[in-house]
Chains A and B, each alone.
Chain A
Amino acid sequence: MKIPIAAALAALCAALGALPGAAFAAEREACEVPGYLLFGNNELKHVSEAVQKDKRLTVAVVGTGSSLLAGPDGPRSAYPARLEAALKRRLPSVDVKVVSLARSRMTAEDLARGMEKVLADEKPDLVIWQTGTLDAIRRIDPDAFRAALEEGVETLHRGGADVILMNMQYSPRTEIMVSPGPYADTMRVVAQQHEIPLFDRLAIMRHWSDTGAFDLYAAGKDNVLAQRVHDCIGRGIASMIIDAAHLRSVDTKAGQ
């Protein structure tokens, strides 16, 4: 009984995913991110080197459940894949590869422990480290959380990779039960002290909610909202990378 329904759903999702860019193009204006949330002073030196010298860029996304989307179409519509698409579009002369290493139910400490392996397996120029959600839910000790972040970031730097930290999603419905604030603050401090960019997903999604770009209060099994948000996040990170690695010139040159 279940198989035909699942197949129908899969077909529907595939159809949605295959829709021409028109639907997303309209969104593009809607999910604009103000510059101050994306652009800072911290640079991605390895990324600019890899792109300018070798014309290639390997990005690894290390994260948890909010870097994944469920369903047959999930891997293609989650933000790591959307980031890859955005980077390929904007850096056509560069060989871009984005690997998603997200696994659900991991704390910052769990993820930090796996960083050596990430370096060895993927040899990334850049690691996007999304974390903090489970730590906030379990109310992990703030000092332990901070120590885990520092350990992970330092491991990656020693291994010659740039790092972008990404904090939690803005989730208005669960906000009263989880307070992400202190964990987001810790991530900001760690990013500041290690001079790495922070993709402030919390503030960015909050901005989208405030401006009405997305109704993040909505409930329902519908995948469309999740896919659009992930697409916007992917494009936001692409802009951040291009800015922080000073790749604008490459971008324009490629466009010529």
Chain B
Amino acid sequence: MHAPVVTTGRDLRLDLFRGIALWLIFLDHIPSNLVAWGTIRNYGFSDATEIFVFVSGYTAAFVYGKEMRERGFFISSAHILRRAWQIYVAHVFLFAIYLAEISYVATSFENPLYAEEMNILDFLKQPDVTIVEALLLKFKPANMDVLPLYIILLLLFPPILWLLRYRSALALGASVLLYVLTWVFNWNLPSYPSGHWYFNPFAWQLLFVFGAWCALGGAQRLSTVLQSRVTLAIAVAYLLFAFVITLTWYLPGVGQYVPHWLEELIYPIDKVNLDVLRFAHFLALAVVTVWFVPRDWPALKSRWAWPPIVCGQHSLEIFCLGIFLSFAAHFAMVEVSGAVWMQFLVSGLGIVIMVGVAALLTWYKRAEERSAGSRRKKGPDADLAGGEA
């Protein structure tokens, strides 16, 4: 199963961490899962979503940026929009699976203890409205918020990428400005039946654009900062601070040692609008990671790094598969057993399936390339490119 990984000047660390992020997102999406205690959201402010969005921005810029240079603005924009369309289709497919599960629950589950919780089925009473709202990305069931965010980010990406290539500082500045204005004026997109997007695209674009900026030379510009011991020290200190604060959420009694003024200052830590504390936590994680995991780290080519890397290289497919598997895992826990051994079993099995499917996709892509290779000059690698942006 150990296929050699693709190495066309691509930074394997991106695939590695995106693969790990996909696993963590899968684990976090299985409710009542003990294994999810091991995921990073329990040890600091940020979670796998930040990694996923940042790496997606980075790879999108890396791949489409190269294409924009070689084939021009319109062709690369068309590819970006086609990618957005693919993600939309994937989202609708997942929604269909979600509808199937919820309809099953509606007919099979009756427990007087949970009469109130059964209100979630209300939306089945007016499918005319709900399904249209879902197609408009306004009705988004729990755990299905990331792909709509991704779609919006890609739709807006062509002009941003263009600007990043010519005036990168201006593009990053505009992104920061939009983030700040979003916080000042509470901008967000509306949701159905109420409220707003769970991942506010106007705020989360900062992480995506920052990733893109890093890919297009920003990382080199930051290298002196990244290599400074002072930066590392600040990052480590901040990670420790976040860890201690997070502990107070889970260890009863510790909370009283957090001074009141600090609580006033940091809470609430807003995930919807990508709280600055979360963004800083991601940056600190990135600084520490870059420090200890160099680009040419030999372990990146080892058999141990292969499973997450291969998942990271097929992120859209594996992301969708992960969402589907988390539904399936929950279903198995409800129908068979919710015991601890079952939680470990479905978690482990899910990751094995994700790796297996990713390996299959790699094999298939190679086979396709081999047969197509003689006929045409190779375009941008679908996987590196849109494929996995």
Residues of A near any B CB (own CB < 8 A): 36-37, 40-41, 64-66, 68-71, 104-105, 133-134, 137-142, 144, 146, 169, 171-179, 182, 185-186, 188-189, 192-193, 206, 209, 216-223, 225-226, 229
Contact = CB atoms under 8 A, between A and B. Distances in A.
Nearest to B113: A226
Given A133-B117, A217-B338, A173 B112 contact: no
B314 interface: no
Contacts of A218: 111
Contact of B114 (A37, A173, A182, A186): A173
Contact of B326 (A69, A174, A176, A185): A176
B117 A174 contact: yes
A171 B115 CA distance: 11
Interface stretch (B237-245, B267-275, B284-292, B376-384): B267-275
13 contacts: A133-B116, A146-B268, A169-B113, A171-B117, A172-B338, A174-B109, A176-B326, A178-B120, A186-B268, A189-B267, A192-B255, A218-B111, A226-B111
Contacts of A226: 111-113
Interface in B49-101: 98, 101
B258 to A, nearest CB: 9
Given A36-B252, A104-B115, 14 more contacts: A40-B252, A71-B112, A141-B195, A142-B272, A169-B114, A172-B334, A175-B31, A175-B330, A176-B31, A176-B142, A189-B268, A193-B263, A218-B111, A226-B112
A125 to B, nearest CB: 25
B249 A140 contact: no
Contacts of A217: 333-334, 338
A177 B271 CA distance: 19
B114 A174 contact: yes
Contacts, number: 132
A66 B143 contact: no
The 6 residue pairs across chains A and B that have the minimum distance between CB atoms: A65-B116, A175-B31, A226-B113, A141-B195, A176-B330, A36-B252
Contacts of B195: 138-141, 144
B191 interface: yes
Interface string B295-327: 000000000000000000000000000000011
Contacts of B173: none
Interface string B247-264: 001001101100000011
Contact of B253 (A36, A185, A193, A206): A36
B105 A175 contact: no
B102 interface: yes
Contacts of A68: 115
A139 B191 contact: yes
A36 B254 CA distance: 11
Nearest to A105: B119
A45 B14 CA distance: 55
B142 A220 contact: no
B110 A219 contact: yes
Nearest to B115: A65
Nearest to A130: B116
Contacts of A105: 119
A176 B29 CA distance: 8
A105 B118 CA distance: 11
B220 interface: no
A106 B156 CA distance: 39
A10 B293 CA distance: 68
Given A40-B252, A192-B255, A173 B105 contact: yes
B198 interface: yes
A225 B112 CA distance: 9
Interface residues of B, number: 48
Contact of B108 (A134, A137, A219): A219
Given A139-B194, A140-B194, A176-B327, A104 B116 contact: yes
A177 to B, nearest CB: 5
B117 A223 contact: no
Nearest to B122: A137
A142 B195 CA distance: 9
Determine which residue in B114, B122, B334 has the highest number of CB atoms from chain A within 10 A of its CB, and name it: B114
B193 interface: yes
B32 interface: yes
B110 A220 contact: yes
B109 A219 contact: yes
A177 B196 contact: no
Nearest to A42: B256
A221 to B, nearest CB: 5
Interface in B5-19: none
A70 B112 CA distance: 7
B348 interface: no
Given A133-B117, A177-B102, A177-B120, A138 B194 contact: yes
B141 interface: yes
Contact of B249 (A177, A185, A193): A185
Nearest to A179: B142
Nearest to A34: B252
B119 to A, nearest CB: 5
* Best-buried of B143, B326, B334 by chain A (most CB within 10 Å): B334
Contacts of B118: 174
A108 B282 CA distance: 33
A166 to B, nearest CB: 13
Contacts of B108: 219
A82 B141 CA distance: 35
A177 B111 CA distance: 17
Given A140-B194, A192-B263, A221-B112, A134 B268 contact: no
A206 B330 CA distance: 16
Interface in B179-208: 191, 193-196, 198
B118 to A, nearest CB: 8
A137 to B, nearest CB: 5
Contacts of A66: 114-117
A189 B326 CA distance: 29
